[in-house]
Structure 1
Amino acid sequence: MDEALVQLQRYALALENPPLLVVCDMERFRIHTNWTNTVSQCFELTLDDLHDPKARQKLQWVLAKPDKLKPGLTREALTRDAAQRFAGLAAGLRARGHDPQAVAHFVNRLVFCMFAEDAGLLQNHLFSRMLEVAHGNPTRFLPMTRELFGAMKSGGMAGWEEVPWFNGGLFDSDNAIPLSATEIGQVHEAAKLDWSDMDPALFGTLFEGGLDPDKRSQLGAHYTDSEKIRKIVEPVVERPLLSEWKDKKSLISKAMERAIGTKSVSVRTKALNEARALFRSFLEMLWNFRVLDPACGSGNFLYVSLIALKNIEHRVNIEAEALGLEREFPRIGPEAVLGIEINPFAAELARVSVWIGEIQWMQRNGYGINRNPILRSLHTIECRDALLTDEGGESSWPEADVIVGNPPFAGGKLLRSLLGDQAVDQMFAVYQGRVPAEADLVCYWLTKAWEQIQAGITLRAGLVSTNSIRGGANRRVLESIVDAGIITDAWSDQPWVIDGASIRVSLVSFALQGEAEVRLAGC
């Protein structure tokens, strides 16, 4: 039954992602819910159960009224509930005098332990059983937690249970913070949620709750909802790749038709080799495709971009298989997304969010996950300043095919109070003549992204901004991009009106393709 489900999951995309996945061995039926953004459920029925009208009704709903089986709890609601619980825990630990960074790191570990347990990576409810024991005797919490974290760092034993090797930077030591009986109880209650279905794209809520509130404004910490993220990722990442695949698939289809329609062995071999080469060249391009978020925060854009790339790879494999080619094992992983983030906890959380997304995708689509270690250190998500080096020079960005993200918002008049005179003076000196001194902080990201495109390093960019970009010093930055080409709406390819104060932009994406072309998405 499990193997049948795995096979079904691998072809769900080709079946247009049906909301119910049903497997049967002639004695049992398992109905797995598969709605987008809902917590999945499994209903199991036996042949004997069908004597019960309520059980028979479930099978009738599968065939006639599938919405009757739709779970009421969404992944968003689940994740928000979990985030709120841990925001309260983090606030309590900070109030007791613990270092905010240590608190954030510790809470992040607890969250991942819950996910690992529900995803089957920590066996036999190890974490929940540990919490249950500690709840009755809080003095045991610290040594047991340190033993678990130490085992997750390098693999080993926690009590009588074998623990896989996790690593990845998250479990870099066995450090833990003691909790009171009440706090242990709160964590234990949170562990009863289904963490395997949590939504990493909403992990930013936990990020904001885990940061030191006094430093949150300095760091430009902010949260972008999934809808806005998809409005950027779809035109910048997904649509161009799928369009390119459509053209490539047409050529593959014609080559396969020639192979099937000929009696000549040499012609057939040549046509098959051509089809395989076209398929392989597209996959190689996908495998080397990189998405950069130069202000990645807790990794929401990186997570959504990674899932988009993995879905495209999966779709390409299925469609190539339908044409008669052999599908490849999925190879796109967390290394496909690059990030720059100045706050160390946020950078760590971005790595964890991306890894959770990777593990969830592989399991939901019927594939095994990497082990030894389960989490590799993601050096592609860097903890540093995206604008200035430690020496006060200009910070470089890694090469990437596209740039997406939500750069920090800070008005030009607030820069000195938020960043300090020295940093602002260095920034003004480095970007003199490119960004007006009065411009908002976000304009530095717009300028650098556009320069990456002009240099041929990046194909496209999509960044979230505010309507303030249409006026004052900000407008001069936008006009410097506008002057380079034609302005069009990324969804409809219709020209934008740019006279007077009519530019109203909240989502900005632009590209240089052939003759200079600037795209502004959203309004």
Structure 2
Amino acid sequence: MPLSWNEIKSRALAFSRQWEDAADEKQQSIPFWIDFFDIFGIGNRRVASFEHAVKKHGGGQGYVDLFWPGQLLVEQKSRGKPLQPAYDQAMGYFPGLPERDLPHTLVVCDFATFRVIDLDARREITFALKDLHKHVRWFGFIAGYQAQTITPQDPVNIKAAERMGRLHDALKKSGYTGHALEVLLVRLLFCLFADDTAIFPAQGFRAFIEERTAPDGSDTGPRLAQLFQVLNTAEDTRNKNLDEQLRAFPYVNGKLFDEGLPIADFDAPTREALLDACALDWSAISPAIFGSLFQSIMDEQARRNLGAHYTSEENILKLIGPLFLDELRAEFDKVKGQRNRLFDFHKKLRTLTFFDPACGCGNFLVISYRELRALELDVLRAAALLQGHAGQRSVDVHQLIGINVDQFHGIEIEEFPAQIAQVALWLVDHQMNLRVSEEFGQYFARIPLVTSPRIVHGNALTLDWGEVLPAARCSYVLGNPPFVGAKFMNDAQRADSRAVFASIDNAGLLDFVAAWYVKAARYMQTAKLQNQELFALAGRAPEPDFIQNAEPPRAAFVSTNSITQGEQVGVLWGWLLGQGVHIHFAHRTFSWTNEARGKAAVHCVIVGFGLQDRPGKVIYEYADIKGQPHAVPAANINPYLVDAPDLVLPRRSKPIGDVPEIGIGNKPIDDGNYLFTTAERDAFIAAEPAAAKWFRRWLGADEFLNGYERWCLWLGDCPPAELRAMPEAMKRVQAVKEFRLASKSAPTQKLAATPTRFHVEFMPAAPFMVIPEVSSERREYIPLGYLEPDTLASNKLRLLPQATLADFGVLQSAMHMAWTRAVSGRLKSDFQYSINIVYNNFPWPFNTPDSEPNQPPAPASQSRAAIEFAAQAVLDARAQFAGSSLADLYDPLTMPPALLRAHHKLDAAVDKAYQLAGGPKAYKNDAERVAFLFTLYQRLTSLLPAAAAKPARVRQTSHPT
């Protein structure tokens, strides 16, 4: 066991007095440094050597005065000799050292003065021998104490994963695979970490591999097996003949080394890969990040993109802050000056339990545990201050540390990450124990491992969560369930989610992640019932100490933003609201960030929820999805994550106001046989001149926005005799017929009977307005426009044949864009404009009931005229740039100022119409716009008959009938 800092400082002071007269390098250097190591309770012969031979820079033989591979290099001089030449001499040894042996700390000394250089941190200090006790923490690594701050961005996380990857590949190549390889790597991870954090004797594991295994690696596997057996055996039951080097290793327990494994076959390169891993400073790793990186080494493809699916620490803090940490911190600030209340608060921290039902490598649990331990450390500081011990480092923390890893629970479907999650919690526990040791001057460790987190290897959707952690004992459910779209689930995922969604209508629309929301709500309901039963048995109302959690657990998940947009909202949140769920906080859409190379771009939300309707709700807004959140207090947070009433938008077949109906464009189902580029059309006409009059301009969303030409061979109106006279056209018709017949869909097979007709046909006889189905989220406005009737619009455009210029103005405004951003579905991050959700539920300003008390009359002709004028100005501004596509005009970087000014005037005109409909005079942001629109929606729909919300087909022609 390492010495406490108090003992180390005392020994350092005694060392300074003992050696205050030392002067002669040749006579006194070796005993000086032997005694120096003894300050830390370390025998130098275990770790370092004197007069270590090395090739100097430029050739020639040199001898390092004291060398500890990978850790420390010392150049000693006689008293009074200048230290700079000694430093230059020491640096000259570096080119002759193997890379993995390069030290992180360099010391030059003349007995009276120490110059210490931390090469990794690029810092140094010079001090007198008499002041050694004041600066002895610079040498904390000798005793196993590490002073560095652990950061997610530290390159050591990537280096460590990559070196473990090389070791993994070498072992796998030898035939050591599967479960045995996974367990072996987890054990080696623990040993590497233990080597640098005082769990093992200083560099004991590395020394064991270097000194007790053959260079050819032939006995490395058996030696590791022997070491694992020792680590799994209590000191008092070990073989009496066990050699001293192995006996120095502690009993670890925790069942980490319990399972017998096949002996791995190492060779020289594999042994070198292990030693390369030993050379890193494993005390600096972040267990939360490294766990996911470590998992990725098992998959060669994933390793090329290390960490691509890892939740960054920043995003984890976005979740755990508002879920529990901010509240606990605020409570601590209130009680830290009151001894009894502080004591009760500390007891409360020990009662909290955390559950991640899709924990992966445990990153959410690890960061939560670290932050909870950091809060406990603040509690201990405050308690020491109240007791008059602050700064004296005399508090006995061994009996005061209450928080432990057994408060953390998880479920993980894959065995390997489940093992990593458990070990990662142990690792961060030890890192926090070292911080306690650093703070209070007493060594504190939990070895052997007596307490374990409960990480269950299983399927979270088929397991009863209560078997992992009874619902009434759970404080918080949290995590990052898997992201799989409803259409992309495999058969197993679909079966698992179908069982969870059994009682929910239209659940086939739901993404995989929604199953965790449903199970969490049921888990909360179970806790509520269990608490009520316990209260009934007690015959009294709950008191603070009567039951661990008087309230059901609260939950927060990171999710793709799809569950708060489009059709999924009505399905998922309609059910959740019916269960009494309330949203407590929410991060609106932000860009998922990762800590490793090849970052994955995912657009996410965080939703915190529970059965309690709590005060202090907060919405975290993002001006830029890659930027930082801005907290906005909210009276209520609805399923679209806006401050508005709790409601979900149904799939409506008709608009809620007296406005034009909307439909989709033409849907050929032709396998591309009727669609042509301009060059393909010209070539076809050259071969079939009679077909020229049957070609019509074809526009989908992409063609409409980017302004390029495509053409459609529309034969639905072609007389049979004329069609039969065009053999090339007949080939196309025959190909369409065969394509439809080959379909697995019965309706598509039926369409083969009329191969010249489209599945959906919508061909207005007059100019009509169109809205692209999909548009980039980068645009401030979705570009709308008009087409002539000789153009065929595809089903990727929404068509409004009867739309007026005022209708165009409202739909092209910031108000309608705010609504679209809030409620539309997304294709990746792009807007996906839905007729039934976005358009048909949109509350127009022209349909406000005049009967509302204290409301001004509906806007009527004056506001319509103002909107029409401003809408025409937008079209006129576009016309100034006839050579530019709509994509050019509406790109945020290239949008012409004249067009932007016209849009802002249109926005003002539309805002004025909504003001007359009861809205505010001005809006600070989109959130305020949407909040008013939901209020207006609620007012408008309260007057509609219930049948109006029932799903029905959009009015348009479909062939055949």
Fold agreement, TM-score > 0.5: yes
| Amino acid paired to 2:423 | V
State the distance in 1 between where 2:346 and 2:276 align.
44
Q: Any residues of structure 2 matched to 1:75-474 within 5 Å, and which?
A: 76-123=154-201, 125-132=203-210, 133-134=212-213, 136-155=215-234, 156=238, 159-161=243-245, 162=247, 163-175=249-261, 176-212=263-299, 222-249=309-336, 252=338, 275-276=339-340, 278-324=341-387, 329-366=400-437, 367-370=442-445, 374-376=448-450, 378=452, 380-389=454-463, 398=469, 399=471, 400-417=474-491, 419=492, 424-425=494-495, 427-434=497-504, 436-453=507-524, 455-456=527-528, 458-474=552-568
State the distance in 1 between where 2:251 and 2:115 align.
46
State the distance in 2 between where 1:141 and 1:100 align.
20
State the distance in 2 between where 1:283 and 1:115 align.
29
**Cα distance 1:305–1:52, how it changes in 2: closer, same or farther (>3 A)?**
closer
**Cα distance 1:2–1:481, how it changes in 2: closer, same or farther (>3 A)?**
same
Secondary structure in structure 2 of the residue aligned to 1:409: coil
Report the alpha carbon displacement of residue 320 of structure 1 after superposing the two structures with TM: 3.1
Report the alpha carbon displacement of residue 516 of structure 1 after superposing the two structures with TM: 8.1
Report the alpha carbon displacement of residue 361 of structure 1 after superposing the two structures with TM: 0.9
**Cα distance 1:334–1:72, how it changes in 2: closer, same or farther (>3 A)?**
closer
State the distance in 1 between where 2:510 and 2:308 align.
19
| Amino acid paired to 2:258 | D
- Structure 2 gaps, min length 5: 18-35, 37-103, 128-146, 390-394, 529-550, 590-602, 623-961
| Amino acid paired to 1:510 | F
How many residue pairs match? The answer is: 448
Secondary structure in structure 2 of the residue aligned to 1:123: coil
State the distance in 2 between where 1:137 and 1:47 align.
41
State the distance in 1 between where 2:486 and 2:344 align.
46
Does the 8 Å contact 1:486/1:516 carry over to 2?
no
State the distance in 1 between where 2:14 and 2:556 align.
48
Report the alpha carbon displacement of residue 357 of structure 1 after superposing the two structures with TM: 0.5
Of 454-463 and 357-366, more deviation after overlay is shown by 454-463
Does the 8 Å contact 1:481/1:518 carry over to 2?
no
**Cα distance 1:147–1:7, how it changes in 2: closer, same or farther (>3 A)?**
closer
Residues 433-475 of structure 1, C-alpha deviation per residue, up to 9 Å, x if partnerless?
3481331111111222344445546443221112222334532
Residues 334-390 of structure 1, C-alpha deviation per residue, up to 9 Å, x if partnerless?
11211111212111111100001111111122154455x52236252222211103x
| Amino acid paired to 2:606 | L
Of 406-415 and 95-104, more deviation after overlay is shown by 95-104
Residues 319-339 of structure 1, C-alpha deviation per residue, up to 9 Å, x if partnerless?
233234887611111112111
Secondary structure in structure 2 of the residue aligned to 1:296: coil
Report the alpha carbon displacement of residue 131 of structure 1 after superposing the two structures with TM: 2.2
| Amino acid paired to 1:361 | M
Report the alpha carbon displacement of residue 512 of structure 1 after superposing the two structures with TM: 4.4
Aligned-pair identity in percent equals 27
State the distance in 2 between where 1:7 and 1:434 align.
64
Report the alpha carbon displacement of residue 159 of structure 1 after superposing the two structures with TM: 4.0
State the distance in 2 between where 1:450 and 1:50 align.
66
Residues 55-96 of structure 1, C-alpha deviation per residue, up to 9 Å, x if partnerless?
998369xxxxxxxxx989966211210111112322343344
Residues 479-519 of structure 1, C-alpha deviation per residue, up to 9 Å, x if partnerless?
5556857756568xxxx89xxxxxx8522222444458876
**Cα distance 1:337–1:167, how it changes in 2: closer, same or farther (>3 A)?**
same
**Cα distance 1:57–1:247, how it changes in 2: closer, same or farther (>3 A)?**
closer
Does the 8 Å contact 1:485/1:517 carry over to 2?
no
State the distance in 1 between where 2:173 and 2:184 align.
15
| Amino acid paired to 2:562 | S
**Cα distance 1:290–1:384, how it changes in 2: closer, same or farther (>3 A)?**
same
Does the 8 Å contact 1:149/1:171 carry over to 2?
yes
State the distance in 2 between where 1:239 and 1:113 align.
35
Residues 262-312 of structure 1, C-alpha deviation per residue, up to 9 Å, x if partnerless?
xxxxxxxxxxxxx43x33322221111111111111111111111111111
State the distance in 2 between where 1:451 and 1:344 align.
26
State the distance in 1 between where 2:558 and 2:456 align.
21
* Aligned residue among 478, 483, 507 for 2:606: 507
| Amino acid paired to 1:149 | F
Secondary structure in structure 2 of the residue aligned to 1:172: coil
Secondary structure in structure 1 of the residue aligned to 2:456: strand
**Cα distance 1:26–1:474, how it changes in 2: closer, same or farther (>3 A)?**
farther
Q: Which has the higher helix share?
A: 1
**Cα distance 1:340–1:71, how it changes in 2: closer, same or farther (>3 A)?**
closer
What is the TM-score normalised by the length of structure 2?
0.42
Secondary structure in structure 1 of the residue aligned to 2:461: coil
- Structure 1 gaps, min length 5: 9-22, 30-40, 61-69, 253-274, 498-503
RMSD over aligned CA atoms reads 4.2
Secondary structure in structure 2 of the residue aligned to 1:437: helix
**Cα distance 1:7–1:159, how it changes in 2: closer, same or farther (>3 A)?**
closer
Of 103-112 and 397-406, more deviation after overlay is shown by 397-406
**Cα distance 1:207–1:124, how it changes in 2: closer, same or farther (>3 A)?**
closer
Does the 8 Å contact 1:465/1:506 carry over to 2?
yes
State the distance in 1 between where 2:115 and 2:215 align.
42
**Cα distance 1:52–1:460, how it changes in 2: closer, same or farther (>3 A)?**
closer
Residues 180-213 of structure 1, C-alpha deviation per residue, up to 9 Å, x if partnerless?
2101101101101111222101123343334356
State the distance in 1 between where 2:585 and 2:229 align.
52
Q: Rg larger in 1 or in 2?
A: 2
**Cα distance 1:377–1:100, how it changes in 2: closer, same or farther (>3 A)?**
farther
Q: Any residues of structure 2 matched to 1:3-82 within 5 Å, and which?
A: 3-4=4-5, 27=16, 50=113, 58=125, 76-82=154-160
State the distance in 2 between where 1:406 and 1:6 align.
45
| Amino acid paired to 2:454 | T
Does the 8 Å contact 2:581/2:612 carry over to 1?
no
State the distance in 2 between where 1:303 and 1:72 align.
16
Secondary structure in structure 2 of the residue aligned to 1:506: strand
Does the 8 Å contact 1:200/1:303 carry over to 2?
yes
Secondary structure in structure 2 of the residue aligned to 1:203: helix
